[in-house]
Amino acid sequence: MDVQSRRALLTCDSNPNEMSDYLVSLGGRLTMEDHGTFDVRVTYVPDSCILNVTSLHSYLAALANFPEMTPELSGKTLLEDANNELVPRWVRVTLIGRPEAETVGSYRCLFQDNQPNWSNPALTAVVVEFEAA
């Protein structure tokens, strides 16, 4: 699957509240054959578009079919594709490994970006609390 076809899986709807900064958080699961299963969370401050929830699940299923994917590469790819399709004011992609019974330890990776000149420290300060709710 080429980049444009992959990105086209992330479909968007119009933001019903473009004038305000607010957080949106969507979750899904990504299973990579050689790397295990990961809970994936995309948290963002929308600009003109909001991500269609079911499209994220379709996107993650397609991403799992790339044999070269690693947790880090999938997080980076999702961040770049979300930036391209959503153009959010701020975005964070988090992958958290789901430990297998025979595996000891944990795994997390986080990718984050924002539009130039956008800042809302009061809003981004509550992200951890918001994602945990």
Which sequence spans correspond to the domains of the chain?
Answer: 3-118
Q: What is the pLDDT of residues 98-115, one digit of tens each?
A: 766 555 567 899 999 999
Phi/psi of residue 57, nearest 5 degrees = -65, -40
Distance CA 21, CA 16 (A): 12
Is the entire prediction scored with pTM above 0.85? yes
Query: Is residue 55 within 8 Å of residue 11, measured between CB atoms?
Result: yes
CA 127 to chain centre: 14
List of residues 6+ apart from 13 with CB closer than 8 A? 49, 50, 52
Distance CA 122, CA 88 (A): 17
Q: What is the pLDDT of residue 129?
A: 80
Assign domain 3-118 one CATH number from 3.40.640.10, 3.30.1130.10, 3.40.630.30, 1.20.120.1690: 3.30.1130.10
Q: Which two three-digit tokens encode residue 2?
A: 């080429």
pLDDT greater than 60 at residue 122: yes
Q: What is the pLDDT of residues 15-38, one digit of tens each?
A: 999 999 999 999 999 998 888 899
